[in-house]
Structure 1
Amino acid sequence: MIRGASIRSQRISRRATNSRRVPGLNLVSLMDIFTILVFFLMVNSAQVEVLPNAKAMTLPDSVSTEKPSEHILLTLSREDLQINGRVVMRLDEAANSSGAIIEPLKTVLLTTPLQAVEGGTPGQVSRGEVNIMADKDTPFQLIRRVMATCTDANFSRISLAVITQSPGASE
């Protein structure tokens, strides 16, 4: 400090000296932030569940927020009706069959073992859940018949696979 200088001039000179110093960067806090970010991304990336995608199929869009679960996958492609990748019958045969229930499909679905219903009454059983993945051009009448067949085969929960679209998005 300069002797004999006023307090104000001393403060101005101190500020000028301090402003020339480069402040240090606290890397410990920055490393903590990145560590938390890496753990967050690792935990959340493991929660993604994806149904197998059929190349010859276009799923409808939806604003549904429920994630698919891994259960029986019933696929209605443009040519075949499949359960877990195994062809059950041709789609045109299913569409042309009579009645509300598709019997060849029901026969295959009945091979799934019965299990207790969660939250149900004691002794109540079902075959569990089934995910239906259908091309968006598949007639709804056929999808309705497939769903009726699943219900008749004692499946307690039926889900339709869709492509999730954000609520405000438009085509």
Structure 2
Amino acid sequence: MYIGESFIGSGVNAAHINTVFGARTGPAGTAWASSLASPSAGHVPFVAVLAPSVPVKPLTLFVTKAAPTNDTHGTLIWGPAQAGVAAGVADAVADGTLPGATIEENVVIAAVWVNPDADDADTVYRNNREATARALRNGLIGEPHIDTVLAARHRPHNPFYTAPTGDPFTEKKQ
């Protein structure tokens, strides 16, 4: 089983994707089937499709991290974000990241963040496509390397927070 992560873009139309890739007969397959059969309020996993009745392969379960807050947000999740995830999985197959010979034996789970304030369908699509392909690639090659992780611990940051410089906790641990 391979777990990947990627954050692409900035602002309200950025994409944050977490992926799990693994065998249908292993823990990834069990999680895939269990998630599909266990929706919760606002979080209804569904099979990502490239077009109606054309699911991407390997079969990919789209799981939203944010419950739809309004019709526009729901449309961005079900429309461009889903299309981006499906295309990103297909890109990973086309470029050889995911082994084509085992497509029917594996599954993908994509946990997808679409900001409730997102407002540009094409940017949501592009960011989710790139983030999905990159998360799958990162998972399969073990990125980021531990040296990158250890270096980043001195100044953790994300789009919502940056640790202060001169953080006494960080300085004690160096």
Structure number, greater radius of gyration: 1
TM-score, scaled relative to structure 1? 0.23
Higher helix share: 2
TM-score by length of 2: 0.23
> Which structure has the higher relative contact order (CA within 8 Å, separation 6+)?
2
Point out the structure with the larger strand share. 2
